[in-house]
Amino acid sequence: MQKPTATSVFKYVIVCTFLVFISQAALAAGIDLKFSHSFSPMHTMQKKVFEPWGKKINELTNGQVTVTMFPGGALGKPGDQYVLAESGIATSSICCTTIHPDVFR
Protein backbone atom coordinates (compact mmCIF):
# COMPACT_ATOMS: atom_id res chain seq x y z
CA MET A 1 0.00 0.00 0.00
CA GLN A 2 1.33 3.42 -0.94
CA LYS A 3 1.78 6.14 1.61
CA PRO A 4 -0.80 8.91 1.03
CA THR A 5 0.59 12.14 -0.38
CA ALA A 6 -0.24 15.57 0.96
CA THR A 7 -2.26 16.25 -2.19
CA SER A 8 -4.38 13.10 -1.83
CA VAL A 9 -5.01 13.85 1.86
CA PHE A 10 -5.99 17.43 0.98
CA LYS A 11 -8.41 16.19 -1.71
CA TYR A 12 -9.91 13.70 0.76
CA VAL A 13 -10.43 16.45 3.37
CA ILE A 14 -12.06 18.74 0.78
CA VAL A 15 -14.45 16.01 -0.36
CA CYS A 16 -15.37 15.08 3.23
CA THR A 17 -15.95 18.72 4.14
CA PHE A 18 -18.14 19.17 1.07
CA LEU A 19 -20.19 16.08 1.99
CA VAL A 20 -20.70 17.36 5.54
CA PHE A 21 -21.98 20.72 4.25
CA ILE A 22 -24.25 19.00 1.73
CA SER A 23 -25.72 16.69 4.36
CA GLN A 24 -26.26 19.58 6.77
CA ALA A 25 -27.98 21.57 4.03
CA ALA A 26 -30.19 18.60 3.22
CA LEU A 27 -31.17 18.19 6.87
CA ALA A 28 -31.82 21.92 7.21
CA ALA A 29 -34.16 21.72 4.21
CA GLY A 30 -35.74 18.56 5.61
CA ILE A 31 -35.92 15.08 4.19
CA ASP A 32 -39.12 13.35 3.14
CA LEU A 33 -38.94 9.58 2.88
CA LYS A 34 -41.59 8.00 0.64
CA PHE A 35 -42.67 4.64 2.05
CA SER A 36 -44.79 2.48 -0.25
CA HIS A 37 -46.63 -0.77 0.41
CA SER A 38 -49.68 -2.64 -0.77
CA PHE A 39 -51.38 -3.16 2.62
CA SER A 40 -54.72 -1.42 3.13
CA PRO A 41 -54.56 1.98 4.86
CA MET A 42 -56.61 0.36 7.66
CA HIS A 43 -54.42 -2.78 7.91
CA THR A 44 -52.87 -3.61 11.28
CA MET A 45 -49.37 -3.28 9.80
CA GLN A 46 -50.15 0.27 8.68
CA LYS A 47 -51.75 1.33 11.96
CA LYS A 48 -49.59 -0.54 14.48
CA VAL A 49 -46.19 -0.72 12.76
CA PHE A 50 -45.66 1.67 9.85
CA GLU A 51 -47.32 4.79 11.28
CA PRO A 52 -45.58 4.54 14.70
CA TRP A 53 -42.28 3.89 12.88
CA GLY A 54 -42.74 7.03 10.76
CA LYS A 55 -43.62 9.10 13.83
CA LYS A 56 -40.58 7.76 15.71
CA ILE A 57 -38.24 8.73 12.85
CA ASN A 58 -39.72 12.22 12.85
CA GLU A 59 -39.35 12.44 16.62
CA LEU A 60 -35.75 11.15 16.70
CA THR A 61 -34.66 13.61 14.00
CA ASN A 62 -36.41 16.57 15.64
CA GLY A 63 -38.74 16.91 12.67
CA GLN A 64 -35.96 17.04 10.07
CA VAL A 65 -37.02 13.71 8.54
CA THR A 66 -40.63 12.88 7.75
CA VAL A 67 -42.07 9.68 6.36
CA THR A 68 -44.90 9.99 3.86
CA MET A 69 -46.90 6.77 3.65
CA PHE A 70 -48.28 5.44 0.39
CA PRO A 71 -50.44 2.50 1.51
CA GLY A 72 -52.85 0.39 -0.49
CA GLY A 73 -50.67 0.27 -3.57
CA ALA A 74 -51.03 4.02 -4.12
CA LEU A 75 -47.77 4.08 -6.08
CA GLY A 76 -48.04 0.63 -7.62
CA LYS A 77 -49.35 -2.92 -7.40
CA PRO A 78 -47.75 -5.47 -5.03
CA GLY A 79 -45.51 -6.69 -7.84
CA ASP A 80 -44.29 -3.16 -8.48
CA GLN A 81 -43.10 -2.39 -4.93
CA TYR A 82 -39.51 -3.55 -5.46
CA VAL A 83 -39.19 -1.60 -8.71
CA LEU A 84 -40.62 1.53 -7.04
CA ALA A 85 -37.84 1.50 -4.45
CA GLU A 86 -35.13 0.46 -6.91
CA SER A 87 -36.03 3.25 -9.33
CA GLY A 88 -36.32 5.92 -6.62
CA ILE A 89 -40.04 6.59 -7.00
CA ALA A 90 -40.34 5.42 -3.40
CA THR A 91 -37.52 5.75 -0.88
CA SER A 92 -38.43 2.35 0.52
CA SER A 93 -41.14 -0.25 0.16
CA ILE A 94 -42.36 -3.58 1.42
CA CYS A 95 -42.38 -6.26 -1.25
CA CYS A 96 -43.00 -9.97 -1.41
CA THR A 97 -39.76 -11.70 -2.28
CA THR A 98 -41.54 -14.56 -4.03
CA ILE A 99 -42.79 -12.14 -6.69
CA HIS A 100 -39.17 -11.51 -7.74
CA PRO A 101 -37.44 -14.90 -7.42
CA ASP A 102 -34.71 -13.80 -9.84
CA VAL A 103 -33.74 -10.90 -7.55
CA PHE A 104 -34.15 -12.56 -4.13
CA ARG A 105 -32.46 -15.95 -4.19
Can you point out the beta strands (E) in the chain? 31-36, 65-70, 92-93
The H or E element spanning position 13 is helix 6-29
Q: Give the mean model confidence (pLDDT) for residues 5-10.
A: 59
Residue among 64, 18, 71 at smallest CA distance from 41: 71
Q: Where are the domains of the chain?
A: 30-99
Confidence at 13, pLDDT banded by 50, 70, 90: low
Give CA–CA dist 94/29, Å, rounded. Answer: 27
User: For residue range 27-61, what is the model confidence (pLDDT) as tens digits?
Assistant: 667 889 999 999 999 999 899 999 999 999 999 98
pTM (2 d.p.): 0.69
